[in-house]
C-alpha cells in the first residue's frame, strides 16, 4: 500500500465498506447527519453569496467564478472531515450493492432519509441567515439573482448540468478517501468543488439553500427593486421554480454520481471486489 495515498482499487474497497456501514445506520442517525451536511453546504452557499456579490467588478468574471468556487469548497470539507451525510456524495453507495456488500434497499433507504435531512439542514440555515439580517443590501440582491437564475434554467439544461456536477462532486469524495491525512483531504476536495462551481454546474443540495434564500429575500421590496430583474424572471422565484430546478438537477446528480463513478469503477475493479462479498 502506498503510504502517501490509497490506490483507486483501495478506494473502491473502502467505498464498499462505507456503503455497508451507511446502510445500517438508524433513521435518527441519518436524519441528524443529513441535517448537518445540508447545513454545512448552506453555510458554504451563503459564504459564496457574500464573496461573489461584487467580485466580478474588481477581478473579472472568470476569476470571480474561480474565487467563488474556492470558498464554496468549504462545504464539502465540513461534510467529509467534521462528518455528515450528503445525498450527492452517497450516490457512490451503489458500488457496494454492485459488489454484493449489501442489498440495494439499504442504499435506497439511506438516500431517502439523507435527502430529506439535507433539505431540512439547508432550510434551517437559510432561515437562520434570513432572521439574522445579514442578507440586507447587496448580499440579498445577489441571493435573489442567484435563485432567479437557477429557477429559470430549462429542464434538460438543469438535468445535464446536474450530471456534470455530481460526476465531479463524487470524484471529490472519492479522492478524499485516497488521502491519509486531513491536509490531503482538503486539497482533494478543493479542486473538484472549485471546478464545478466555477463551471456553472448544478448541485441539488446547494440549490435547496440558494433557492430557499432567494424566496425569503424576495419578500423585501428594496431587494426586489435593487435586483433589476425583469418581471418574468422575478416571478420564477417561487415554489414552482424551486421544483423546476430541483427535480431535473437531482435526477442529473444521480446519473452523474452513479453512472460515471460507481458503475464505471465497479466495471474496472469487479474482480478485485469479489472477495468483499
Question: Tens of pLDDT along 185-216?
Answer: 999 999 999 999 999 999 999 999 999 999 99
Under the banding of pLDDT at 50, 70 and 90, the label for residue 274 is confident
Quote the mean pLDDT of the chain. 96
Question: How far is Cα 159 from Cα 6, in angstroms, rounded to an integer?
Answer: 32
Q: Please list the residues that pair with 34 across neighbouring strands.
A: none
C-alpha cell at 273: 471486489
DSSP-derived secondary structure letter, 53: S
Could you tell me if residue 200 is inside a domain? yes
User: Does the pLDDT at position 46 exceed 70?
Assistant: yes
User: Does the pLDDT at position 277 exceed 70?
Assistant: no
User: Does the pLDDT at position 4 exceed 90?
Assistant: no
User: Does the pLDDT at position 254 exceed 60?
Assistant: yes
Q: pTM of the prediction?
A: 0.97
Question: How far is Cα 20 from Cα 173, in angstroms, rounded to an integer?
Answer: 16
For the segment 51-73, the average pLDDT, to the nearest whole number, is 97
Q: Are 250 and 114 in contact (CB under 8 A)?
A: no
Under the banding of pLDDT at 50, 70 and 90, the label for residue 39 is very high
Residue by residue, DSSP assigns 71-134 as HHTHHHHIIIII----HHHHGGGHHHHHTTSS-HHHHHHHHHHHHHHHHHHHHHHHHHHHHHTT
Could you tell me if residue 277 is inside a domain? no
Q: Taking Cα atoms as reference points, which of 47, 260, 232, 259 lies closest to residue 134?
A: 47
Task: Work out the angle at residue 83's Cα, subtended by the Cα atoms of residues 46 and 129, and round it to the nearest 5 degrees.
Answer: 20
Render pLDDT for 139-170 as a digit per residue (tens, 0 to 9): 999 999 999 999 999 999 999 999 999 999 99
Could you tell me if residue 1 is inside a domain? no
Could you tell me if residue 65 is inside a domain? yes
User: Does the pLDDT at position 45 exceed 90?
Assistant: yes
Whole-number pLDDT of residue 96: 94
User: Does the pLDDT at position 182 exceed 80?
Assistant: yes
Question: How far is Cα 56 from Cα 123, in angstroms, rounded to an integer?
Answer: 28
Render pLDDT for 255-267 as a digit per residue (tens, 0 to 9): 999 999 999 999 9
User: Does the pLDDT at position 3 exceed 90?
Assistant: no
Residue 33 structural domain: 8-269
Q: What is the CA radius of gyration of the chain?
A: 19
Whole-number pLDDT of residue 226: 97
Question: How far is Cα 246 from Cα 240, in angstroms, rounded to an integer?
Answer: 10
Under the banding of pLDDT at 50, 70 and 90, the label for residue 16 is very high
Question: How far is Cα 110 from Cα 103, in angstroms, rounded to an integer?
Answer: 12
For the segment 6-25, the average pLDDT, to the nearest whole number, is 95
Could you tell me if residue 136 is inside a domain? yes
Domain count, the chain: 1
Could you tell me if residue 276 is inside a domain? no
Whole-number pLDDT of residue 2: 53
For the segment 35-56, the average pLDDT, to the nearest whole number, is 98
Whole-number pLDDT of residue 131: 98
Whole-number pLDDT of residue 276: 67
Could you tell me if residue 260 is inside a domain? yes
Could you tell me if residue 21 is inside a domain? yes
CATH number of the domain residue 200 falls in = 1.20.1080.10
Question: How far is Cα 95 from Cα 15, in angstroms, rounded to an integer?
Answer: 7
Amino acid at each position: 500500500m502506498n503510504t502517501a495515498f490509497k490506490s483507486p482499487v483501495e478506494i473502491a474497497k473502502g467505498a464498499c465498506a462505507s456503503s455497508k456501514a451507511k446502510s445500517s445506520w438508524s433513521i435518527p442517525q441519518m436524519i441528524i447527519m443529513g441535517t448537518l451536511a445540508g447545513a454545512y453546504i448552506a453555510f458554504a452557499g451563503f459564504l459564496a453569496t457574500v464573496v461573489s456579490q461584487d467580485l466580478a467588478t474588481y477581478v473579472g468574471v472568470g476569476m470571480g467564478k474561480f474565487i467563488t468556487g474556492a470558498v464554496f469548497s468549504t462545504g464539502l470539507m465540513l461534510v467529509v472531515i467534521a462528518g455528515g451525510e450528503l445525498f450527492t456524495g452517497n450516490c457512490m453507495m451503489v458500488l457496494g450493492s454492485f459488489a454484493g456488500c449489501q442489498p440495494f434497499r439499504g442504499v435506497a433507504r439511506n438516500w431517502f432519509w439523507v435527502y430529506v435531512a439535507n433539505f431540512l439542514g439547508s432550510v434551517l440555515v437559510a432561515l437562520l441567515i434570513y432572521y439574522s439580517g445579514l442578507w440586507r443590501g447587496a448580499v440579498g440582491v445577489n441571493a435573489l439573482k442567484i435563485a432567479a437564475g437557477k429557477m429559470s434554467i430549462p429542464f434538460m439544461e438543469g438535468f445535464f448540468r446536474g450530471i456534470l456536477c455530481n460526476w465531479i462532486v463524487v470524484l471529490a469524495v472519492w479522492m478524499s478517501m485516497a488521502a491519509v491525512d486531513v491536509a490531503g483531504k482538503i486539497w482533494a476536495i478543493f479542486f473538484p468543488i472549485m471546478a464545478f462551481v466555477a463551471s456553472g454546474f448544478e448541485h441539488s443540495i446547494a440549490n435547496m439553500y440558494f433557492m430557499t434564500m432567494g424566496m425569503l429575500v424576495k419578500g423585501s421590496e428594496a431587494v426586489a427593486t435593487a435586483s433589476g430583474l425583469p418581471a418574468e424572471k422575478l416571478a420564477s422565484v417561487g415554489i414552482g421554480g424551486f421544483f423546476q430546478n430541483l427535480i431535473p438537477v437531482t435526477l442529473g446528480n444521480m446519473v452523474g454520481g452513479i453512472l460515471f463513478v460507481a458503475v464505471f469503477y465497479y466495471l474496472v475493479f469487479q474482480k478485485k471486489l469479489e472477495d468483499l462479498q
